[in-house]
Structure 1
């Protein structure tokens, strides 16, 4: 007589976080999963990965409390913690069980690239700052998936430009967000601005940069247009170029 086979898809019984449910709804490997665990997995799938401080900020809890919860999820093989760069905190990403729990249909993150690591972590910081303005956010992960917009599809074997984040503001404004950490050449920056100029759906383009040198570079290559705003990553506040002092003859 064949024994029944139990597969991980039993996790498909997870709840919809938008519907009131009992706090504890599913037990697996000694851990009792809650709606908050699902929300953590959804967030990690949306943004690829995040560190403990970012997750604590997102869910309004202390870093030690979030660390304890993440440690339990890692021991249950729902999440994985990885140290990518020696000078940066490690990050958490979803394993197959975590992806099932999230149930977002977003592509998996099988490995973390050192090349994109700093950019992804910065994009999460920007997303958390943007949430203070109460928008609906779409990540690049979502935009390049089936949830995204048709203009971001691959054409002739080459991917079109895609914002790092799109923010749908409460006032109806649509904001495209670019997180710029490395110095792109003039042609590439100007090409991105031409791409935005041809699309009327965006009311504003925000560039988040690490310093004034990058801000001036963006400004000089087309960022002086009225709909382009430049923000500093260190403060998450809009940057304005210094006004040149007027010299008056004696």
Structure 2
């Protein structure tokens, strides 16, 4: 199969997110179901992508091989088959990122993979302990608008209350020192939203926390 420039962009985009479904690729690149499956199968045959099903009730996903990284000139390492525990969340996060990029003009999106890669490269420059960097938390995604960074978190399940407090405390400090302009939480359960509101209520930067229900059309 002759590899096109669009194919390279598809591989790059999949690796940006770590993995993606055929439906997501088709939506991002405006391709019909038949066309997207044909191109993705061809790229699997060419050794640029791998494909696998993680859960029986969720569509199979594609991730990028080392050959795909080289072809697309991605700055990230090759992807891998995702785990079952976070699959639904991570796929929904890809959908949310596509929604936000259409909702807000002149903005860009940084995935958690990209943020972690940026941290590692900075650690190499400064001599910081790489293991400490690997253990540090990054947002689910970051929306970049007007030169400012907006951390985006997708909460589909209720975390341990102590863990939520730790995350909120960390974000309050990071906003106070100017790392993020705001933290935007998306949720799909009112019980999750209620706990989040309670945890941020006492923070000096409380107004910089934003809460939205996950859009119904993603």
Q: TM-score range by the shorter chain?
A: 0.7 to 0.9
Q: Is the 8 A contact 1:153 1:160 kept in 2?
A: no
Does 2:102 align with 1:102?
Answer: no
The CA deviation at 1:236 is 7.0
The CA deviation at 1:155 is 6.3
Higher relative contact order (CA 8 A, sep 6+): 2
- Report the TM-score, using the length of structure 1 for normalisation: 0.74
Q: Is the 8 A contact 1:154 1:160 kept in 2?
A: no
Does 2:163 align with 1:179?
Answer: no
Between Structure 1 and Structure 2, which shows a larger proportion of helix residues? Answer: 2
Does 2:137 align with 1:167?
Answer: no
The 10-residue stretch of structure 1 (187-196 or 214-223) with the greater mean CA deviation from structure 2: 214-223
Give the Cα–Cα distance (whole angstroms) in 2 for the partners of residues 157 and 201 of structure 1: 16
Structure 1 unaligned spans of 5+: 1-30, 238-250
The verdict on how the C-alpha distance between 1:51 and 1:198 changes in structure 2, with shifts beyond 3 A counting, is same
Does 2:180 align with 1:202?
Answer: yes
**Runs of 4+ residues deviating >6 angstroms:** none
Give the Cα–Cα distance (whole angstroms) in 2 for the partners of residues 147 and 39 of structure 1: 24
The verdict on how the C-alpha distance between 1:147 and 1:33 changes in structure 2, with shifts beyond 3 A counting, is farther
Does 2:116 align with 1:144?
Answer: yes
Give the Cα–Cα distance (whole angstroms) in 2 for the partners of residues 235 and 149 of structure 1: 37
Match of 2:166 in 1: 191
CA deviations on 1:160-179 (whole Å, 9 max, x unpaired) are: 2211111111x344210112
The CA deviation at 1:223 is 6.2
Match of 2:88 in 1: 118
Match of 1:73 in 2: 43
The CA deviation at 1:205 is 0.8
The DSSP-based 3-state class of the residue aligned with 1:205 is: strand
Give the Cα–Cα distance (whole angstroms) in 2 for the partners of residues 90 and 62 of structure 1: 17
The CA deviation at 1:116 is 2.0
Q: Is the 8 A contact 1:180 1:209 kept in 2?
A: yes
Match of 2:14 in 1: 44
The DSSP-based 3-state class of the residue aligned with 1:143 is: helix
Structure 2 unaligned spans of 5+: none
The verdict on how the C-alpha distance between 1:111 and 1:189 changes in structure 2, with shifts beyond 3 A counting, is same
Match of 1:226 in 2: 207
Match of 1:58 in 2: 28
Give the Cα–Cα distance (whole angstroms) in 2 for the partners of residues 110 and 116 of structure 1: 13
The DSSP-based 3-state class of the residue aligned with 1:226 is: helix
